[in-house]
A and B are shown apart, each in its own frame.
Chain A
Amino acid sequence: MRWFGAVLTITLACLAAAAAFVVWVDPFQQYHLASRYPPRFYFLHHRYINPGLARNQAYDTVVSGSSIMENTPNDLVAKACGGSSVNLSMPAMSASEQRLMLETALASQPVKRVIAVLDFNAFAGGIEERQDVAGPLPRYLYDRNPFNDLPYLLSWDVLAKAWRIVNGDTGEKFTSDPNGAWFWGNVVRFGREQVLRGLDLENLNARYRQPRRTFDGMRASFEHNLLPILAAHPDTEFDLVWPPYSILVWLDFAQRDQVQVSLDFKRYVFEATRGLPNVRVFDLQGDAAITHDLDRYDDIYHFDPAVNERLIEAACHGRYRVDASNIGEFERKLREQVAAVATPAGLAAVVSGPSFVR
């Protein structure tokens, strides 16, 4: 028994030491914000770090969306809306992941406002769709149960990161600005050439390979993932924002017979939330000054940080708001734009010059 006890004791002592070291350094800021060293927001580690920010950072406003919202610094939101903000956006976020993220934030502290950007693609797939491209979502970090944190506490990968932090090793790719933890607008090029590079304009989805969506599937996902949160937090204002993709996204939808299902879903979201006084819907998708100006984009989806600023200001100042009286007008305008861009002349106008339909 001595051998067994000694081996077990040594093993547990080593593991406990490793866990204690991880808690002390806390590379993903799960237990405390980085204070003894400049924080490290590791490249594409949103799904690990955001739940820690949600729990430990002080804020009253949450920005939630996919990669298109990552270029939204906290101070921009504070300037436009007041208060203090945290950006919990994640690349290619699914509705299910958005729910988990928002639940974590809302359970952590009182939140006055949530600016949630809705992506059509987030509602594709099943109601529990996750973007587990490289591995499963670290679900254990999205709750307050410390007993399931072992994959974080006892991970060689995390331990190595903690060790590098202690040693001042900056060999990994990360940013250290808590104001714009996931900001990438300063490292990519925006412009029509960039957007159109390698694009087959007759088959846009050849490059983006987005799945086909159904109205029933999207509705089920919204009802499962977002609607309950909106209803359960009447003291929190939810600004649901339809983001201004480039008009080429709508051309892609037209090429794949996804325009109607998208418009139907937008209409449904409005109808489903109009009875909730804490929910407002905004729609920037018909603003041709943005969507037809490809110089504002990095690809057909991702716009430059100035558009993020416009979007946040719109939400906070009530512009682009959808209500019962204007929803038809929003739809009509977008339908016309889609019909126009689907013609050779309309497409040529969008892709060829700086002028755009106003």
Chain B
Amino acid sequence: MLFNSYEYLIYFLPLALAAYFLLGRRATWAVGWLVACSLFFYGWWNPKYLPLILASIAFNFAIGRALHRGSQPVLSLSKGHAKALLACGIGANLLLLGVFKYADFAVRNAADLSGLPLALPHIVLPLGISFFTFTQIAYLVDVHRGQAKEPSLLNYALFVSFFPHLLAGPILHHSEMMPQFASPSNKRPQSFHLAAGLFLLVIGLVKKVCIADPLAPVAAVGFDHPEALSALGAWLSVLAYTLQIYFDFSGYTDMALGAARMFNIQMPVNFDSPYHSTDIREFWRRWHMTLSRFLREYLYIPLGGNRLGDAHTAVNVMATFLLGGLWHGAAWTFVAWGALHGAGLVCLRAWERTGHRLPRAIAWAVTFLFVMVTWVFFRASALPAAGAMLRAMAGASAADAESWSEALRHGLAPDAQGSALVAAAALAIGLVVVALPRNSNAMALDFRPTWPRGAAVAVGLVWSVLQLGKVTPFLYFNF
């Protein structure tokens, strides 16, 4: 189920919320209800993957219990055994991820390298597997470090499956969530959290529906037909995607945080105006912050971080970003994207050692351009397509403005002119919103339930809901 769907907004969320608070006096029932809701939410798309997430939860809970060296350990483990068990747990999680997410990629590359006609397994990627796998790896590591423990399977199931974060994060730490789930006061409706949560949810919905979605077809036309792009067309396509991915993902996160807040649960912030960044390190402190935190704490630092000299640090940075890139998708484009960001960070460290500082405006422009250009690899269907887009951006394409207009007319049909106008408006509004000093987190932080805000929330919610149901006449292409 998607956050920007009728079934979620009109049926699922209100029902889940109402029943949760009605059951609030009985903590176990309330938690059980929320787990049931979360599994229903997960299974809505394809129930056949429910056993997978349930097995994953059960397995990691069991490993966590075995690792737990608290007052009542299930097993008494030596340090070595605990480490082996942790490795086994992490290995199983990575294997699950590998099979479901990377099997096709691995087989395709093996076939390309060997020349053998290997059949692709065509395994459908279960929703959210990257997120719930990483969440649970972090949990196991934290248990091993003595920083987490969870004796209740139901609570653990809620921690992993809590629907606001299940499909696209944020990636949670056990320690920041479980006290909130355990708190009895959080199981009673709190008007301020309900209001602030609704406010944040509507901001996210408006970001997604009114900015990201209208930009999507413009970006798609450009990335689907890079050979038809003039330099201006290429830059505008990439700019459209740069804004689309930010408003889409941060909008989704705002909706997740807003929904959780309505349940009196505060989830960690995931985006903090990343396009304000003046260097690439700052970008990664503001973009998908919980993934950055995960990669830093569970990969970069265990690899040695920056403690082993410059060369080793550079290797660690590159390894972290290559794997981070691959985590986003099983394709060489994501690896290239991660490699570019890793290389960007390595270069930044080298530049900082020279003692030079760029003026803030130039530093911002360089960072924004770098991020934009690297999005080409993130969005392109394959490396050659990324190359074609970069050539077009460099003005080396033979296409002229007319061919891009033609591609847009085709791609935005049936109402190409109307869609282009809406996309242009979304682009302009998106740029203004990106430039604003206060983002949705700041607005939620000092939220006050005033009537003008109430009116804005009602208008935003009504307008966004009405935008969800698009009527798309059949395009008569090739029959």
Contact A45 B479 (CB under 8 A): no
On whether A134 and B6 interact (CB within 8 A), knowing A4-B449, A15-B465, the answer reads no
B469 touches A151 (CB 8 A): yes
B184-212 interface (Cβ within 8 A of A)? 189, 191, 194-195, 198
Q: Which residue of B lies closest to A122 (CB)?
A: B479
Q: How far is the CA of A129 from the CA of B469 in the complex (A)?
A: 22
Provide the bound-state CA to CA distance between A150 and B5, in Å.
10
Q: Is B426 an interface position by the 8 A CB rule?
A: no
**Are A7 and B6 closer than 8 Å at their CB atoms?**
no
Q: For the complex, is B77 an interface residue (Cβ under 8 Å from A)?
A: no
Q: Are A48 and B471 in contact (CB under 8 A)?
A: yes
The listed residue (A11, A156, A208, A209) touching B461 by CB distance below 8 A is A11
**Is the beta-carbon distance between B194 and A45 smaller than 8 angstroms?**
no
Flag if B477 contacts A158 (CB, 8 Å). Answer: no
Cross-interface CB contact of B479 among A8, A67, A152, cutoff 8 Å? A67
Q: For residues 429 through 465 of chain B, which have their beta carbon under 8 Å from a beta carbon of chain A?
A: 449, 451, 454, 457-458, 461-463, 465
Q: B124 on the interface (CB 8 Å rule)?
A: no
CA distance A205 to B308 in the complex (A): 63
Nearest CB of B to A297, in Å: 14
- Whether A155 pairs with B476 at a CB distance below 8 angstroms is no
Choose from B7, B198, B465, B474 the contact partner of A133 (Cβ within 8 Å).
B474
Residues of A within 8 A of B191 (CB): 1-4
Once A and B bind, how many residue pairs between them come within 8 Å at the CB atom?
109
What residues of B have a CB within 8 angstroms of the CB of A43 in the complex?
473
Minimum CB distance partner of A208 in chain B:
B478
Cβ 8 A contact of A91, one of B6, B463, B469, B474: B474
Separation of A173 and B473 alpha carbons in the complex (Å): 12
**Residue pair B466, A90 in contact (C-beta under 8 Å):** no
Q: How far is the CA of A135 from the CA of B468 in the complex (A)?
A: 12
The docked-state distance in angstroms from the alpha carbon of A43 to that of B191 is 48
Distance, CA A293 to CA B315, complexed state (A): 72
Is the C-beta of A272 less than 8 angstroms from some C-beta in chain B?
no
Q: Are B466 and A155 in contact (CB under 8 A)?
A: yes
A134 touching B194, Cβ below 8 Å: no
Q: Which residues of B contact A224 (CB under 8 A)?
A: none
Do residues B468 and A151 form an inter-chain contact, with CB atoms below 8 A? yes
Q: B116 contacts the other chain (Cβ, under 8 Å)? A: no
Q: Compute how far the CA of A91 lies from the CA of B191 in the bound complex, rounded to whole angstroms.
A: 52
B414 at the interface (CB under 8 A from A): yes
Q: Which residues of A contact B11 (CB under 8 A)?
A: 147
A14 at the binding interface (Cβ < 8 Å): yes
Alpha-carbon distance A10/B475, docked complex (angstroms): 37
- Asked if residues A4 and B10 are in contact (CB atoms below 8 Å), the reply is no
Contact A47 B474 (CB under 8 A): yes
Q: Using a CB-CB cutoff of 8 Å, which residues 15-55 of chain A contact chain B?
A: 15, 18, 42-48
The reply to whether the CB of B467 lies closer than 8 angstroms to some CB of chain A is yes
Q: Among A2, A15, A42, point to the contact of B462 (Cβ < 8 A).
A: A15
Question: Which A153-211 residues have a C-beta within 8 angstroms of B?
Answer: 154-159, 161, 208-210
The distance in angstroms between the C-alpha atoms of A210 and B478, with both chains bound, is 7
Q: Is the interface of B mostly helix, strand, loop or mixed?
A: helix
Interchain CB contact (< 8 A) of A90 among B198, B451, B462, B474:
B474
A154 touches which one: B198, B468, B473 (CB < 8 A)? B468
Cβ B466 vs Cβ A154 within 8 A: yes
Residue in A closest to B472 when the chains form the complex, CB atoms = A135
B residues within 8 A CB of A6?
Answer: 454
Give the distance to chain B from A232, nearest Cβ to Cβ, in Å: 26
Give chain B residues whose Cβ lies under 8 Å from the Cβ of A90: 474
Q: Tell whether, in the assembled complex, residue A7 and residue B189 are in contact, meaning their CB atoms are under 8 Å apart.
A: no
Q: Bound state CA distance, A4 and B458, in angstroms?
A: 10
Nearest A residue to B6 by beta-carbon distance? A150
Per-position binary interface string of chain A over residues 251-270, scored 1 when its CB falls under 8 Å from any chain B CB and 0 otherwise = 00000000000000000000
A154 to B466, CA, bound (A): 5
Chain B residues whose CB sits within 8 angstroms of the CB of A108 once the complex forms: none
CA distance A27 to B407 in the complex (A): 32
Is A278 among interface residues, defined by CB-CB distance under 8 A?
Answer: no
CB distance from B276 to the nearest CB of A (A): 30
Nearest CB on B from A248, distance (A) = 15
**Which of A44, A147, A156, A208 touches B473 (beta carbons < 8 Å)?**
A44
Is A121's beta carbon under 8 Å from chain B?
yes
CA distance A7 to B453 in the complex (A): 9
Report which of A4, A11, A44, A48 forms a contact with B476, defined as CB distance below 8 A.
A44
A66 at the interface (CB under 8 A from B): yes
Q: Are A14 and B471 in contact (CB under 8 A)?
A: no
Q: Is B477 within 8 A of A133, CB to CB? A: yes
- Within the complex, the shortest CB–CB distance from A342 to chain B, in Å, comes to 23
- Rounded to whole angstroms, the CA-CA distance of A280 and B263 in the bound complex is 60
Asked if A92 and B479 sit within 8 Å, CB to CB, the answer is yes
- Give every chain B residue within 8 A of A161 (Cβ-Cβ): 471
* Closest chain A residue, CB of each to CB of B448: A3
B470 CB-CB contact with A under 8 Å: yes
**Identity of the chain B residue whose Cβ is nearest the Cβ of A205 in the assembled complex:** B478
Residues facing A in B1-49 (CB within 8 A) are 6-7, 10-11
Q: In the complex, how many angstroms separate the beta carbon of A163 from the nearest chain B beta carbon?
A: 12
State the 8 A-B residue pairs at the shortest beta-carbon distance, nearest first: A135-B472, A155-B469, A151-B469, A3-B449, A92-B479, A150-B6, A1-B191, A157-B471
Enumerate 23 A-B pairs (CB-CB under 8 Å) in ascending A order. A1-B189, A3-B191, A3-B454, A11-B461, A14-B462, A18-B462, A48-B471, A67-B476, A67-B479, A91-B476, A92-B476, A131-B479, A133-B477, A134-B414, A134-B473, A134-B474, A134-B475, A152-B469, A155-B470, A156-B466, A156-B469, A157-B471, A209-B478
**Apart from A134-B473, A152-B469, what 13 extra A-B contacts exist at CB < 8 Å?**
A3-B195, A4-B195, A11-B458, A15-B465, A44-B475, A44-B476, A46-B474, A48-B471, A66-B479, A91-B479, A150-B6, A154-B469, A156-B469
Q: CB within 8 Å of A: which residues of B? A: 6-7, 10-11, 189, 191, 194-195, 198, 413-414, 449, 451, 454, 457-458, 461-463, 465-479
Name A's B-contacting residues (CB within 8 A).
1-4, 6-8, 10-11, 14-15, 18, 42-48, 66-67, 90-92, 121, 131, 133-135, 147-148, 150-152, 154-159, 161, 208-210, 301
